[in-house]
């Protein structure tokens, strides 16, 4: 294709990705006075943000007046095992309420308290009821509100336009080259600032709750442009997702099912969560079924059932049971609400879950147990950014939302991702606009840039021209199987090394992909291109997981089951180099004393104790079912 | 159904064009016509279709075809851009905005919309009368306008738009939009008819108009 | 999975299911009802069998009525008295949002079923005369309310026999008919709008809020009430007619 066929566009700020963070960034950039262009890989409004159910964490204090940003900050740091960038956690806690109220002023409709204020609901890890929500479709509410706001501001949107590479000039961002899916034509967007808001990379796993867009594009683009990644090893798995049929695998089964009385049972019919109660939570967790069932009836003055332990604990318990051979045929355990509540109650409490199972699986959850297993859910790590500006290490390049790292630490609390999108989306948009407006508008395309563009176009078009070669769909499946098997809930050195080598082989094979067919909307071609990003994401995750020789938050190493003080103060940072990914260990920013004071003294210590006891708990539990502990001790032994 | 299409993609026709994202009925990308009936592929189970005969999957018929199952749905985005956005009334004296659950519940039904555009595709005014498209915004737009018009804190007035630009009079309440809505929004009963009644209040009700005269000059 | 894919020309699929069945049944029912109603209205007789008055002729407002409800029109009116009143419930049903759907689909075939091509060539919806008049549905609703009151009056009168108070099968028929018509009438979309649908906030309007909620629940069954009350009107008229011509004796229950 000659360059004449490449359309040229110019703007001050280019936002890549139109989920919550991208839209919020574009809105802020436009409001700051920058000419803003928004690119999205799918149609506008289809981003993964729409799948968020529970709510957005913000210390509005509408339900509990004593809630304040300090408490939200503390919960976030505690949830993240203090691996969080404390400045980001502070900004998140301080600014989330303002972002929520702003959404309301733009037309979002949240559920209300009897006083007419925004209602807030409980979520794991939050000390107070803090999640502003619109029923169980908060993500849709946020997306529509932001989408309409962006349209109202007249932001230029290019749909189904996927960025292939960021362009730099003299080490600074100068734009991006994108492929228009519908026509197969290229578009050259020139701008002095780019905001990456492309989401995570969950599609690299076989069992994933992520939308198919989550292919790690931003991570790949940032690496190529010279930015640093961090915390890539922290990939959060949601404990209860559907195991089938077909692509229903990975679909979330909300915590609400357990909250309503659903219990987890293995193939032997045992309520196995009693075997996995961490030491530090023994005081507040019911040790027997009778006492646990009492809690559902009264909900107070009783210890909570173990099914409602923190998500990471439940995830590891389910995974351990399945690996010990006590799972069901699809590799899951049973989540049983049918025998616990009457049909009417289930239908009243869980209407959307009932409907989804009936439609997707043909299953009546009021009669039968649901088979569930953990699924890849959220990429905590990503592009490293400055807390206040969301700037990456490349001048002009910003990142916000799931693609950026830092705010969640080693594990993310429910509701914090939606807050993250808005708080840091806005900051990225604002600082990108200020950067762009403070620099000279893009000069004429230089000869070097034209050459760059021509080279990228040739690379991108290559799979289209190969009539024979690797099948991108099958390559993706191999990658997904590999990540699922070796970079899943539990990791070991040997597994991670296998994954590392497999990914290297897949990368070589990916260079020979054939996506023969027309230019017009050719999914094989799109997948071939996305596969590059998925492989880069998978590689970064695997290398970082291999380097972190400890267990912390959602990163669980069977061969290093305890957290280590050394790693607790260290971030794994990855950069692109000629030899591949270059890894460095860098110190986590220490929290100043005034913020340390916000944490109750023993809480952090307790957190580490929990971490160190999860294996021991299983081996000392009196269940008589010693297999999971034995399985682990083989490796740890 | 979506799984079947994806399997075909992976093994037989890699370039089979189809949109999909969430595979759980939440993003509204995989709209198509299965055996001639508009629906989301991800929420259509093959075992619910007649067995022993071929299943036909086609693109949404109302929109220009790009390739295979992918259509150009920009019509819907253009119509959405023409709707004046939310115009909030000033916040209360304490700086807070108050709304009540009973009021928000009515509009939350409309906010459930996942913008799959199946209603737009099925509405015969859009589907069969291309000449009317410039004058008609379609059910999705009416749902959006209803959400704004019934918003307790909205100060905007979209009735003139409804009557003329959006062409609510062209809707003949045959309820196909409601039949195909995967979110089970009762589009006709809860959005379109109440809006038609509001338009009637303003433009077709002589007694209401007469009473308004007195309101203006007390 | 064993799947063979065949690429067809664009837009091959027509609905293969029995989409025509529902509109066909609707069309038959509507035509049958209109035919019966016209026939019954033009009979100008056999509409009263003491103490029962056919709903087609209620309220009977002409002086020449067999059983006068209110003598509004003088003896000069020699045509069927049904014609003086029947346009009100007739207009109410004809402009009803549900029946509009029913006959636009089944009779106008615009569209006959979802995703089946519209039969109308020069379609203008309800923007032009005469269909723009559908917007006055609310007035038919208001006018139907007094008619409904008379039907209840007739139902009460149906307890009053020549030999005193009593209960016949016809009493039950007229009561049931009045009840079903009331449900149909109150579940009307215009009623819903008048009750509270016109408000943006129910907060501080508790009565309208309650009324709107009740009517909204009834409204979900508007279609069902529409058909059942249609049948009950025909049955009530037919029953009175059979009594009147002596083909049937009204069983007295007590």
ipTM of this complex prediction, to 2 decimal places: 0.95
B125 token code pair? 């005014």
Quick one: average pLDDT of A504-516? Answer: 95
The whole-number pLDDT of residue C5 equals 67
Which residue range forms the structural domain that includes residue C66? Answer: 21-244
Distance of CA A141 to the CA centre of its chain: 19
Phi-psi region of A216 (alpha: psi -120 to 50; beta: other; left: phi over 0): left
Quick one: average pLDDT of A322-348? Answer: 92
Interface of B with A in 63-82 (CB under 8 A): 66-68, 70, 72-73, 77, 80-81
Quick one: average pLDDT of A172-187? Answer: 95
Interface of B with A in 103-132 (CB under 8 A): 104, 107-108, 111-115
- Kindly list the distances between the CA atom of residue A154 and the CA atoms of A36, B72, C21, in Å, as whole numbers in the listed order: 9, 21, 48
| Neighbour subunits, A (≥3 Cβ pairs < 8 A) | B
Question: Strand, helix or coil at A111?
Answer: coil
- pLDDT-based confidence at A606, cuts 50/70/90? low
Distance of CA B197 to the CA centre of its chain: 19
Q: DSSP secondary structure string, C39-102?
A: HHHHH-SS-EETTEE-GGG-S--BTT-SS-S---B-TT--S-THHHHHHHHHHHHHT-HHHHHH
- Kindly list the distances between the CA atom of residue C61 and the CA atoms of C50, C69, C130, in Å, as whole numbers in the listed order: 17, 6, 29
Quick one: average pLDDT of A397-416? Answer: 95
pLDDT greater than 90 at residue B217: no
Establish if C36 belongs to a structural domain: yes
Report which secondary-structure segment, H or E, holds A94: helix A86-105
Query: Which residues are CB-neighbours of A452 under 8 A, at least 6 positions away?
Result: A167
Establish if C152 belongs to a structural domain: yes
User: Which tens digit of pLDDT belongs to each residue from C145-177?
Assistant: 999 999 999 999 999 999 999 999 999 999 999
Q: Do C5 and B12 touch (CB under 8 A)?
A: yes
Interface of B with C in 70-89 (CB under 8 A): none
Establish if C7 belongs to a structural domain: no
Say if residue A125 is preceded by a cis peptide, omega within 30 of 0.
no
Whether residue B107 contacts residue B151, with contact meaning beta carbons closer than 8 Å, is answered with yes
The whole-number pLDDT of residue C195 equals 94
pLDDT greater than 80 at residue A545: yes
Establish if C5 belongs to a structural domain: no
Higher pLDDT, A27 or B210: A27
- pLDDT-based confidence at A615, cuts 50/70/90? very low
| CATH numbers and ranges of domains, chain B | 2-71 (3.10.20.30), 74-216 (1.10.1060.10)
pLDDT greater than 80 at residue C7: no
Q: From chain B, pick out residues whose CB is under 8 angstroms from the CB of C217.
A: none
| CATH numbers and ranges of domains, chain A | 3-234+380-437 (3.50.50.60), 241-373+601-636 (3.90.700.10)
The whole-number pLDDT of residue B15 equals 92
Q: From chain B, pick out residues whose CB is under 8 angstroms from the CB of A356.
A: 24-25
Give the pairing of strands A235-242 and A263-265.
unpaired
Local structure of residue A401 (DSSP, 8 states): G
Whether residue A420 contacts residue A396, with contact meaning beta carbons closer than 8 Å, is answered with no
Q: How many other C-beta atoms can be found within 10 angstroms of the C-beta atom of residue A284?
A: 11
Return mean pLDDT, chain A.
90
Phi, psi of A238 (to 5 degrees): -85, 135
Return mean pLDDT, chain B.
93
Nearest chain B residue to C206 by CA: give it. Answer: B102
The whole-number pLDDT of residue C1 equals 46
The whole-number pLDDT of residue C4 equals 62
Among A130, A238, A326, A426, the active-site one is A238
Whether residue C176 contacts residue C83, with contact meaning beta carbons closer than 8 Å, is answered with no
Residue with the two structure tokens 């049958």: C32
User: Which tens digit of pLDDT belongs to each residue from C18-34?
Assistant: 999 999 999 999 999 99
Q: From chain B, pick out residues whose CB is under 8 angstroms from the CB of A148.
A: 80, 85-86
Q: Is the dihedral of CA A481, A483, A488, A493 positive or negative?
A: positive
Whether residue C116 contacts residue C15, with contact meaning beta carbons closer than 8 Å, is answered with yes
Q: DSSP secondary structure string, A50-66?
A: GG--S-EE----SSSTT
Closest chain B C-alpha to C175 CA, distance in angstroms:
29
Euclidean distance between CA atoms B83 and B161, whole angstroms: 8
Establish if C140 belongs to a structural domain: yes
User: Which tens digit of pLDDT belongs to each residue from A241-280?
Assistant: 999 888 889 998 988 888 888 999 999 999 999 999 888 7
Question: Strand, helix or coil at B39?
Answer: strand
Residue with the two structure tokens 């691996």: A83
Establish if C9 belongs to a structural domain: no
Query: Long-range contact list for A298-302, CB < 8 A, 24+ apart?
Result: none
Euclidean distance between CA atoms C205 and C186, whole angstroms: 20
Return mean pLDDT, chain C.
93
Q: How many other C-beta atoms can be found within 10 angstroms of the C-beta atom of residue A249?
A: 22
The whole-number pLDDT of residue A622 equals 37
B29 token code pair? 């990308």
pLDDT greater than 70 at residue A626: no
- pLDDT-based confidence at A600, cuts 50/70/90? low
User: Which tens digit of pLDDT belongs to each residue from C184-228?
Assistant: 999 999 999 999 999 999 998 999 999 999 999 999 999 999 999
What percent of chain C clears pLDDT 90, i.e. is strictly above it?
A: 85
Compute the CA torsion angle A170, A171, A175, A176 (nearest 10 deg).
120
The whole-number pLDDT of residue B46 equals 87
Euclidean distance between CA atoms A388 and A386, whole angstroms: 6
- Kindly list the distances between the CA atom of residue C118 and the CA atoms of B126, B211, C106, in Å, as whole numbers in the listed order: 11, 40, 11
User: Which tens digit of pLDDT belongs to each residue from B184-208?
Assistant: 999 999 999 999 999 999 999 999 8
Q: From chain B, pick out residues whose CB is under 8 angstroms from the CB of A105.
A: 88, 91, 97
Q: Do A112 and B99 touch (CB under 8 A)?
A: yes
Establish if C64 belongs to a structural domain: yes
How large is the angle between the packed helices A69-79 and A603-620, nearest 10 degrees? Answer: 40
Whether residue A477 contacts residue B11, with contact meaning beta carbons closer than 8 Å, is answered with no
Query: Which residues are CB-neighbours of B186 under 8 A, at least 6 positions away?
Result: B109, B178
Into how many domains does chain C fold? Answer: 1
Euclidean distance between CA atoms A251 and B2, whole angstroms: 14
Establish if C39 belongs to a structural domain: yes
Query: Which residues are CB-neighbours of B174 under 8 A, at least 6 positions away?
Result: B124, C101, C104, C105, C110, C111
User: Which tens digit of pLDDT belongs to each residue from C31-84?
Assistant: 999 999 999 999 999 999 989 999 999 999 999 898 888 889 988 999 999 999
Q: Is the dihedral of CA C143, C144, C149, C151 positive or negative?
A: positive
Identify the CA nearest to A224 among candidates A410, A402, A407, A460: A460
Euclidean distance between CA atoms A106 and A404, whole angstroms: 26
Nearest chain C residue to B129 by CA: give it. Answer: C123
Euclidean distance between CA atoms C122 and B90, whole angstroms: 46
Question: Strand, helix or coil at C143?
Answer: helix
Euclidean distance between CA atoms A181 and A86, whole angstroms: 40
Higher pLDDT, A522 or A446: A522
The whole-number pLDDT of residue C161 equals 93
Question: Strand, helix or coil at C109?
Answer: coil
Report which secondary-structure segment, H or E, holds A571: strand A570-577
- Which of C101, C109, C120, C125 to mutate to test binding with chain B, by most B CBs within 10 Å of its CB? C125
Q: Do C125 and B198 touch (CB under 8 A)?
A: no
Euclidean distance between CA atoms B84 and B90, whole angstroms: 18
Q: From chain A, pick out residues whose CB is under 8 angstroms from the CB of B15.
A: 515-518, 522-525
């Amino acid at each position: 294709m000659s360059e004449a066929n490449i359309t040229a566009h110019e703007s001050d700020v280019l936002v890549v990705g139109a989920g919550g963070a991208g839209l919020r960034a574009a809105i802020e950039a436009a409001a700051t006075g920058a000419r803003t262009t928004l690119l999205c890989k799918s149609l506008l409004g289809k981003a993964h943000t729409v799948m968020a159910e529970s709510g957005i964490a913000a210390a509005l204090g509408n339900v509990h007046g004593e809630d304040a940003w300090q408490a939200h900050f503390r919960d976030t740091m505690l949830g993240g095992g203090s691996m969080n960038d404390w400045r980001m956690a502070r900004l998140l806690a301080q600014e989330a309420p303002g972002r929520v109220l702003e959404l309301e002023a733009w037309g979002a409709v949240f559920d209300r308290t009897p006083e007419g204020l925004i209602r807030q609901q409980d979520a794991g890890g939050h000390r107070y009821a803090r999640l502003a929500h619109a029923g169980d479709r908060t993500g849709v509410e946020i997306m529509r509100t932001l989408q309409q706001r962006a349209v109202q501001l007249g932001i230029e949107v290019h749909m189904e336009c996927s960025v292939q590479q960021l362009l730099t000039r003299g080490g600074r961002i100068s734009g991006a080259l994108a492929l228009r899916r519908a026509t197969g034509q290229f578009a050259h967007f020139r701008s002095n600032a780019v905001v990456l808001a492309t989401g995570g990379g969950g599609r690299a796993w076989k069992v994933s709750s992520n939308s198919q867009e989550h292919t790690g594009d931003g991570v790949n683009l940032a690496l190529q442009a010279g930015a640093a990644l961090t915390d890539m090893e922290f990939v959060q798995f949601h404990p209860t997702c559907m195991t089938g049929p077909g692509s229903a695998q990975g679909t979330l089964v909300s915590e609400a099912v357990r909250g309503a009385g659903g219990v987890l049972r293995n193939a032997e019919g045992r309520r196995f969560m009693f075997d996995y109660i961490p030491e530090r939570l023994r005081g507040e967790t019911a040790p027997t079924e009778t006492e646990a069932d009492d809690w559902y009836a009264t909900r107070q003055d009783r210890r909570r059932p173990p099914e409602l332990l923190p998500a990471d604990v439940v995830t590891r318990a389910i995974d351990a049971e399945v690996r010990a051979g006590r799972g069901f045929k699809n590799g899951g355990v049973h989540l049983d609400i049918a025998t616990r509540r009457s049909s009417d109650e289930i239908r009243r409490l869980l209407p959307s879950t009932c409907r989804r199972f009936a439609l997707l699986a043909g299953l009546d959850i009021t009669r039968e147990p649901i088979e569930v297993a953990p699924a890849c859910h959220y990429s905590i790590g990503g592009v490293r950014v400055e807390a206040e500006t969301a700037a990456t290490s490349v001048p002009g390049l910003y990142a916000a939302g799931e693609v950026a790292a830092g705010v969640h630490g080693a594990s993310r609390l429910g509701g914090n991702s939606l807050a993250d999108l808005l708080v840091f989306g806005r900051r990225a948009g604002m600082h990108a606009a200020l950067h762009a407006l403070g620099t000279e508008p893009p000069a004429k395309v230089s000869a070097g840039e034209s050459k760059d563009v021509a080279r990228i176009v040739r690379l991108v078009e290559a799979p289209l021209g190969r009539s024979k070669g690797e099948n991108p769909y099958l390559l993706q499946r191999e990658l997904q199987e590999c990540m699922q098997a070796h970079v899943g809930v539990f990791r070991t050195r040997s597994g991670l090394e296998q994954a590392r080598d497999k990914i290297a082989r897949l990368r070589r094979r990916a260079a020979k992909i054939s996506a023969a067919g027309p230019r017009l909307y050719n999914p094989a071609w799109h997948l071939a291109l996305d596969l590059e990003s998925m492989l880069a994401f998978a590689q970064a995750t695997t290398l970082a997981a291999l380097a972190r020789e400890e267990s912390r938050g959602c990163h669980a190493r069977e061969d290093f089951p305890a957290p280590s003080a050394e790693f607790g103060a260290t971030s794994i940072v990855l950069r692109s180099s000629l030899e591949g990914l270059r890894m460095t260990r860098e110190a986590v920013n220490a929290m100043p004393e005034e913020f340390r004071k916000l944490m109750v003294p023993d809480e952090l210590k307790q957190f580490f104790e929990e971490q160190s006891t999860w294996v021991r708990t299983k081996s000392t539990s009196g269940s008589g079912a010693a297999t999971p502990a034995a399985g682990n001790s083989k490796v740890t032994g | 159904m979506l799984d079947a299409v994806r399997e075909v993609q992976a093994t037989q026709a890699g370039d089979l064009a189809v949109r999909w994202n969430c595979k759980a009925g939440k993003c509204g990308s995989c709209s198509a016509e299965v055996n001639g009936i508009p629906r989301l592929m991800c929420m259509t189970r093959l075992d619910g279709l007649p067995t022993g005969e071929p299943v036909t999957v086609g693109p949404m018929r109302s929109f220009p075809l790009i390739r295979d199952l992918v259509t150009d749905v920009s019509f819907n985005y253009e119509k959405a851009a023409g709707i004046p956005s939310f115009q909030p009334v000033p916040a209360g004296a304490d700086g807070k905005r108050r709304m009540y659950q009973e009021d928000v519940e009515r509009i939350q039904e409309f906010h459930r919309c996942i913008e799959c555009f199946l209603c737009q595709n099925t509405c015969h005014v859009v589907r069969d009368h291309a000449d009317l498209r410039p004058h008609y915004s379609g059910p999705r737009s009416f749902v959006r306008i209803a959400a704004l018009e019934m918003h307790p804190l909205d100060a905007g007035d979209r009735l003139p738009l409804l009557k003329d630009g959006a062409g609510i009079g062209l809707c003949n309440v045959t309820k196909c939009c409601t039949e195909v809505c995967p979110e089970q929004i009762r589009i006709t009963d809860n959005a379109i008819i109440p809006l038609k009644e509001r338009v009637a209040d303003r433009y077709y009700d002589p007694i209401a108009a007469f009473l308004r005269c007195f309101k203006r000059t007390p | 999975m064993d799947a063979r894919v065949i690429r067809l020309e664009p837009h091959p699929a027509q609905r293969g299911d029995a989409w025509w069945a529902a509109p066909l049944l609707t069309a038959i029912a509507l035509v049958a009802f209109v035919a019966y109603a016209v026939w019954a209205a033009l009979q100008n007789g056999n509409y009263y069998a003491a103490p029962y008055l056919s709903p087609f002729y209620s309220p009977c407002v002409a002086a020449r009525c067999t059983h006068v409800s209110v003598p509004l029109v003088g003896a000069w009116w020699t045509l069927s008295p049904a014609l003086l009143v029947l346009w009100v419930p007739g207009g109410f049903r004809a402009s009803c949002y549900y029946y509009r759907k029913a006959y636009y689909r089944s009779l106008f075939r615009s569209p006959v079923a979802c995703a089946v091509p519209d039969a109308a060539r020069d379609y203008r919806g309800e923007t032009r005369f005469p269909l723009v008049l559908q917007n006055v549905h609310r007035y038919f609703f208001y006018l139907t309310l007094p008619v409904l009151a008379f039907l209840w009056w007739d139902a009460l009168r149906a307890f009053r026999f020549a030999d005193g108070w009593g209960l016949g099968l016809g009493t039950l028929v007229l009561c049931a008919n009045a009840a079903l018509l009331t449900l149909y009438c109150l579940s009307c979309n215009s009623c819903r709008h008048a009750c509270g649908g016109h408000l943006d906030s129910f907060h501080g309007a508790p009565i309208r809020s309650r009324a709107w909620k009740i009517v909204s629940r009834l409204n979900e069954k508007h279609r069902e009430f529409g058909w059942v009350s249609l049948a009950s009107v025909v049955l009530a008229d037919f029953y009175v007619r059979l009594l009147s011509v002596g083909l049937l004796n009204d069983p007295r229950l007590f």
